[in-house]
Structure 1
């Protein structure tokens, strides 16, 4: 065996044992005897084992000059069940028997709700029926545990067993499926069934275009690198669908080539090879290379851009703020282990503050009876004090001290808000004094600077939340939010400090780099009647020497084939103003041109041009009811067939890669300290079932 391990893997091959008689299982097309070639002679080795040919092929393609002992080639003893071999092929190599979906179609029955027969009836049922019920129960529990992120050993919990017996789900503890059954065969069945269902939905819904997001994360226990991919598209009824496609382990370095290989595998798995995929990613060099190698249409994640704008170009470039933020993080790290004590002190501070308000109320009541005339300055100071107290001293909610995440700037804002709350300030400083950390105490000048920074960052929070939505379109909002951010950074107040002014100027200088205005962003804005008059659109199109209609028509010609070029004549029209006073409508009014832009410059045009002229002439923001742009285009499909198809493509593209980032939180609840040894394959299956549960339920399954 030692000699075999030292031999080069290029010397090895696999002799398949599939014979069409006794060895008929699908797995025997990929597993067989290990054969080594020496001196132009072949001989079988390790005769008590079977080896995976797919593993050997992958290893030889990567580096056929390494020794066999260093290559990862899966082997099993010959007495192993074929189920284990098939499981390896599915999980590691995504190899499945072509007809396997026929066997899994019946699995959908475990999603059906059926009334359970009384115990007397169940007791008299045949053994076949009992086995079927036991089979369904195991798969129902696998589905439940994945959706609720419960550990599989919950089946051994005494309370769960008692509950199931009390409500006649099982007759005794022996009827409860074992942990191995739920976490292996049942989990595999549920995953395969849901995988088939998602594939059916994608095949039915996706005609030519879809969007994907992907991001890389590491678990905090074994420090394994994973990549999560999500898919987004609009159906013909303008329903926005988002699926998690996979959460795969990246072995070794996170190179662009490895990411590209995963992308190609996923495209093949979900039959997306012929689709145009619009990717939304961060600006990492490995990610950019993967996108380039995979020839994907790419768009920068605006969430990552804003994060870098705030943390790197903003706070990181101002020494006073950078030092203060690091100090706050150190404070949180220092006092975290004494949080209960800190919360009790904050509660005491809250009670004392409320009592002081009661005393103030009593004095005010006395003043009404016996008024004392004071100067205007005192009254003004009093009002100002109440405003500050209301802003940072909400007595209805005293937050616990929050930690910040290095990848989410708004978590830093939550940390600062929790520290700056009036009820937490004194307790934090007192605790730092008690543990002799006087250098970490925050003084009034620093509190003032924190308040300024918090007020400033709060203006960005709503932008990020709306751009990161997964429930509706978001790319159409990007341009108006870019203009609003620029306006925030350009704004000055009489009380602006030099530090905050420096912060704004540094961020303004990097805004176009971190939040670039692209063709996609402009097209998405033009496809929203609320934003077609944004001033920035004129500036952008002037640089390209084109008009709104020509720009839209060109995108139709690029992305939609088969449109007519019939010439038509149009008459000029004027865009109607709108009166919707939602947040987005107010922003649109604020950043739109004061006058009506020229819409029609030529009277002759083909069908695409004609439709674009008609849309721009008739577009009315009032038609976008309840800020639902998708419903607007659903209603305009017959009026503007080409533009509605373009809207279906462009509005499905997320403005950020937040959908794949949200999986990080789910992964954190999946890979816990007690489940840190979960295999990457099982992690993928749990997250896949959890994330796609609702859409699969809505599409085909009767879970409830």
Structure 2
């Protein structure tokens, strides 16, 4: 008579028997209780009369409550839920149905639990940072709907298992003026707090003058966000191409009409269904992001038949794009497609991306030259020429930048074939050899005993030369030290040359492979290059990780949570991005 579904939910059914649809009997004391479809009355009776309730398997009540509290905290920070959720009637009813014995914490208690979780997780992350040899940072600024300013800093590194890892260091409330001095002071304090001030290999930011100047004042290597750089290149090229602005303006009018008119939107959907096309909404262009221009024109071109048919049946002064317009759009989209692909690919966080900047620039230039040569469309040809000019101006020094060149060489997918200029590639190989030599030179050897300095006291004293041991003076000490240093430098250079050349002659791995997996498997084959690779391959190609933090921050600081203090926002965002 006992319902099987209840056995799977609560151990109370081991202590009670269902004797009627609305009644149960305690098997210990034979007390009969009303049954209302849940075990709450059974739990209360058993706890009061027979000791702690065993309604959660092998876990005791205290541990079970701790697990539920932990799950509640995780839900609040992961799903951007307000602390007031514990006061919501519907949520209370839901929790009571799941487990009547669980008492929801108050709003204040929940906030304190979030703070404790923050301190615990931050301490764990700081401990990990102590073991990391090199890190790369990304930084950006944001202003919330409450007009509170924040500075976000993310940290990227290669962990003990030779995998790419990331931690959000802080979403720092920033009420001060956004000057380079204030930003650099905040960054310096942050690096000291996390104990990474001597480990930062680069900081990736946008091209804002204050961000660039702040990194310069920290005396650290600055890397411009490649996604922002591509955005500037394409926007400038689009604006400089005659005819495209007019096409974009008319395209925006079409999209706006369907976005703002319920009737037009329903008509478009109806036409798409009649044509057996997937129902797709049009995409509006956003001034600050060129990829929105690409997506707007691409969607309009894909849905040109549906849009034209829908407009033909609607009373409006908005005119569809002409066949010539769509021909222009198609030709320009062909040129812009690889830029969109590059932006998406170089904005990844979980894969090595910094080493792709040089090869990606090379492939974009080659694609432009090939496509311009094939197209007969005048507007597309002009756009292609503008893109080439902007690319050359923006990235002409890319293959001279040490950090980018080393990361490209140490990415086993690219090595020297990733370079457009092979003269620069060979110069970069020499720089890599020099860095490898320096690493060998100053790395203590664990395989052989340290070379002892020659001692003149151990050698027979030449005739008419006084023995140093009798005078306390070693005349040859400086020369002997210089000679020993020269021997070590020569040996280090020779060893580095051999290691680098062996690595370079190995064929590149497939582009789909993970470069860190390669180094994990070859760390004993190329031990010094492995150490260099860990230092340079952790740098991302863009500051998009920070932008994603702020996208999530916009959900946290919402109308429903507009009373959150900046310090509480920081703790919630830290947990949201790091859990």
Bucket of the pairwise TM-score, normalised by the shorter protein: 0.7 to 0.9
Partner of 1:655: 541
CA contact (8 A) 2:118 2:575 kept: yes
- Does the alignment pair 1:550 with 2:474? no
Counterpart secondary structure, 2:283: coil
Cα deviations by residue, 1:446-491 (Å, 9 ceiling, x for unpaired) = 2322222333222222222221211121122222211111012212
CA contact (8 A) 1:291 1:298 kept: yes
1:425 paired residue among 299, 307, 311:
307
Partner of 1:282: 206
| Cα 1:679/1:342, change in 2 over 3 Å | farther
Structure 1 unaligned segments of length 5 or more: list them. 1-114, 355-394, 566-601, 694-704
CA distance in 1, matches of 2:89, 2:213: 52
CA contact (8 A) 2:362 2:418 kept: no
Partner of 1:411: 292
Counterpart secondary structure, 2:415: coil
Counterpart secondary structure, 2:376: coil
CA contact (8 A) 1:475 1:654 kept: yes
- Does the alignment pair 1:217 with 2:142? yes
Give, in angstroms, the shift of residue 692 of structure 1: 0.3
Partner of 1:140: 71
- Does the alignment pair 1:149 with 2:80? yes
TM-score (norm: length of structure 1): 0.63
CA distance in 1, matches of 2:115, 2:177: 29
1:611 paired residue among 495, 499, 504:
499
CA contact (8 A) 2:352 2:537 kept: yes
Partner of 2:221: 297
| Cα 1:501/1:411, change in 2 over 3 Å | same
Partner of 2:248: 325
Q: Of the two structures, which has the highest relative contact order with CA contacts closer than 8 Å and spacing of 6 or more?
A: 2
Partner of 1:620: 507
Partner of 2:98: 167
Give, in angstroms, the shift of residue 537 of structure 1: 5.7
Partner of 2:565: 679
- Does the alignment pair 1:643 with 2:538? no
CA distance in 1, matches of 2:565, 2:74: 18
CA distance in 2, matches of 1:430, 1:199: 63
CA distance in 2, matches of 1:608, 1:519: 18
| Cα 1:512/1:520, change in 2 over 3 Å | farther
| Cα 1:146/1:407, change in 2 over 3 Å | farther
| Cα 1:512/1:541, change in 2 over 3 Å | same
| Cα 1:402/1:170, change in 2 over 3 Å | farther
Give, in angstroms, the shift of residue 228 of structure 1: 1.2
CA distance in 1, matches of 2:220, 2:306: 49
CA distance in 2, matches of 1:684, 1:657: 19
Counterpart secondary structure, 1:621: coil
Counterpart secondary structure, 2:359: helix
- Does the alignment pair 1:349 with 2:271? yes
Cα deviations by residue, 1:334-382 (Å, 9 ceiling, x for unpaired) = 54233x534422232223324xxxxxxxxxxxxxxxxxxxxxxxxxxxx
CA distance in 1, matches of 2:47, 2:535: 53
Give, in angstroms, the shift of residue 688 of structure 1: 0.9
Give, in angstroms, the shift of residue 272 of structure 1: 1.4
| Cα 1:350/1:612, change in 2 over 3 Å | same
Partner of 1:191: 118
Give, in angstroms, the shift of residue 326 of structure 1: 3.9
- Does the alignment pair 1:534 with 2:417? yes
CA contact (8 A) 2:86 2:105 kept: yes
| Cα 1:535/1:643, change in 2 over 3 Å | closer
Counterpart secondary structure, 2:275: helix
Give, in angstroms, the shift of residue 246 of structure 1: 1.1
Question: After the TM superposition, which residues 151-550 of structure 1 pair with which residues of structure 2 at under 5 Å, given as runs?
Answer: 151-168=82-99, 170=101, 175-182=103-110, 184-204=111-131, 206-207=132-133, 209-219=134-144, 221-312=145-236, 314-338=237-261, 340-354=262-276, 395=277, 397-420=278-301, 421-422=303-304, 424-426=306-308, 429=311, 434=315, 436-438=316-318, 441-491=320-370, 492=372, 494-515=374-395, 516-517=398-399, 518-534=401-417, 536=419, 538-541=421-424, 547=427, 549-550=429-430
CA distance in 1, matches of 2:553, 2:88: 23
CA distance in 1, matches of 2:310, 2:562: 34
RMSD over equivalenced CA pairs, Å = 3.1
CA distance in 1, matches of 2:343, 2:275: 34
Give, in angstroms, the shift of residue 210 of structure 1: 0.7
| Cα 1:632/1:177, change in 2 over 3 Å | same
CA contact (8 A) 1:523 1:552 kept: yes
Give, in angstroms, the shift of residue 180 of structure 1: 2.8
Give, in angstroms, the shift of residue 305 of structure 1: 0.6
Structure 2 unaligned segments of length 5 or more: list them. 1-8, 13-42, 54-59, 446-489
Give, in angstroms, the shift of residue 632 of structure 1: 0.4
Cα deviations by residue, 1:491-545 (Å, 9 ceiling, x for unpaired) = 2255432211111111211213433332222222211333234273653427xxx
